[in-house]
C-alpha cells in the first residue's frame, strides 16, 4: 500500500474525482435538469475511471511531481484523453450516441474545474511545508 501511495496521492485523486463529480452536477443544474442518480452515475463513474487510467501517464497524481499549477498543461492533456474516453463509455452505458458538443463542453469544464482544484491544492501544500 505504501508503494501505491508513492505512485498515487490518494487525497489528490479523491479531490480530482470530487471535482469531476461537481462538474457533472453543475452540468445538470445548468440545464435546469433534475439530477437523476442513474444518469449522474452514467457520466461520473466513466469520467473518474478514465481519469485514473489517463492521469498517471502524465505523472499528475503524485505530490512530488505536482507542484501547484506548474504542470497545468499536463492536466490539460490528461483531460483531453480522459473526457472522450468517458463520453464513449457513457454512450455505451446509456445506449446513446456520442455528442461532440457535449464532449467539448465536458473537456472545457473539467479542465477548468481541475485547474481550480489543483490551485487550491497547491496553496494547501505550500502552507503545510
Residue 71 near residue 118 (C-beta atoms within 8 A): no
37-83 confidence digits (pLDDT tens): 888 899 999 999 999 999 999 988 886 544 556 788 999 999 999 99
**To the nearest whole percent, how much of the chain has pLDDT over 90?**
55
Grid cell digits, residue 86 = 468517458
Phi, psi values for residue 90, rounded to 5°: -60, -45
For residues 91 and 35, which has the higher predicted lDDT (pLDDT)?
91
Grid cell digits, residue 23 = 462538474
Q: Is the pTM of the predicted complex or chain greater than 0.85?
A: yes
Residue 66 near residue 38 (C-beta atoms within 8 A): no
Q: Give me the residue spans of the domains in the chain.
A: 2-128
Cα(57)–Cα(43) distance, integer angstroms: 22
Mean pLDDT, range 23-37, rounded to an integer: 83
Amino acid at each position: 500500500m505504501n508503494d501505491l501511495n508513492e505512485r498515487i496521492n490518494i487525497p489528490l485523486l479523491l479531490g480530482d474525482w470530487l471535482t469531476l463529480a461537481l462538474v457533472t452536477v453543475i452540468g445538470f443544474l445548468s440545464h435546469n435538469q433534475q439530477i437523476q442518480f442513474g444518469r449522474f452515475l452514467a457520466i461520473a463513474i466513466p469520467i473518474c475511471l478514465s481519469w485514473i487510467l489517463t492521469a498517471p501517464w502524465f505523472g499528475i497524481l503524485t505530490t512530488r511531481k505536482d507542484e501547484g499549477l506548474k504542470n497545468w498543461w499536463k492536466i490539460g492533456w490528461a483531460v483531453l484523453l480522459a473526457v472522450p474516453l468517458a463520453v464513449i463509455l457513457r454512450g455505451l452505458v446509456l445506449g446513446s450516441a456520442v455528442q461532440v458538443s457535449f464532449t467539448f463542453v465536458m473537456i472545457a469544464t473539467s479542465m477548468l474545474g481541475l485547474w481550480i482544484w489543483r490551485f487550491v491544492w497547491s496553496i494547501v501544500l505550500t502552507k503545510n511545508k
